[in-house]
């Protein structure tokens, strides 16, 4: 049975949480990739950042939805949620804009389970983490290549 370690890409392009958004944009454009894991100097994965994060950052600020009842304004978003959106929008560093605590997978996760997880969570790539360290990444194309290789054996 194929596992993450059998199909993952091990030479992963990463970025530091302290890098600028401008450096990130250049990296994504130069490498023609949609996102990268955010890794501390010790190899610990702390987040992911994608083209979608940059697009969201470029949008106009939307105020939280509210209900008005007799001059009482009740916001339908928590203040902390609004604060996080605002910080992402105004952030200058990768840390401020990234998605922290991303969904990760272990190296021994079966490919079928990875496919289910990608479909359920609507993600295209998953970082592979072993003992807290990034060891690879599995994208949809990695899964397809692995399944094709398995079918030809």
The model's pTM: 0.75
What pLDDT, in 10s, does the model give residues 1-23?
A: 899 999 999 999 999 999 998 89
Please state, in angstroms and rounded to a whole number, the distance separating the CA atoms of residues 13 and 15.
7
Please state, as a whole number, how many other Cβ atoms lie within 10 Å of the Cβ of residue 128: 29
Tell me the domains of the chain and their CATH numbers.
4-152 (3.10.580.10)
Q: Retrieve residue 93's tokens.
A: 């560093």
What pLDDT, in 10s, does the model give residues 27-70?
A: 999 998 889 999 999 989 999 998 888 877 665 555 556 667 76
């Amino acid at each position: 049975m194929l596992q993450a370690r059998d199909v993952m890409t091990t030479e992963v392009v990463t970025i530091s949480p302290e890098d600028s958004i401008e450096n990130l944009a250049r990296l994504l454009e130069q490498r023609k990739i949609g996102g990268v894991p955010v890794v501390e100097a010790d190899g610990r994965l702390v987040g992911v950042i994608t083209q979608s994060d940059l697009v969201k950052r470029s949008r106009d600020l939307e105020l939280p939805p509210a209900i008005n009842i007799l001059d009482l304004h009740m916001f339908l978003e928590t203040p902390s949620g609004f604060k996080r959106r605002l910080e992402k929008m105004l952030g200058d560093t990768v840390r401020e804009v990234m998605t922290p605590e991303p969904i990760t997978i272990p190296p021994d996760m079966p490919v079928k389970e990875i496919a289910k997880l990608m479909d359920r969570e609507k993600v295209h790539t998953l970082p592979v983490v072993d003992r807290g360290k990034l060891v690879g990444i599995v994208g949809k194309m990695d899964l397809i290549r692995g399944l094709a290789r398995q079918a030809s054996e």
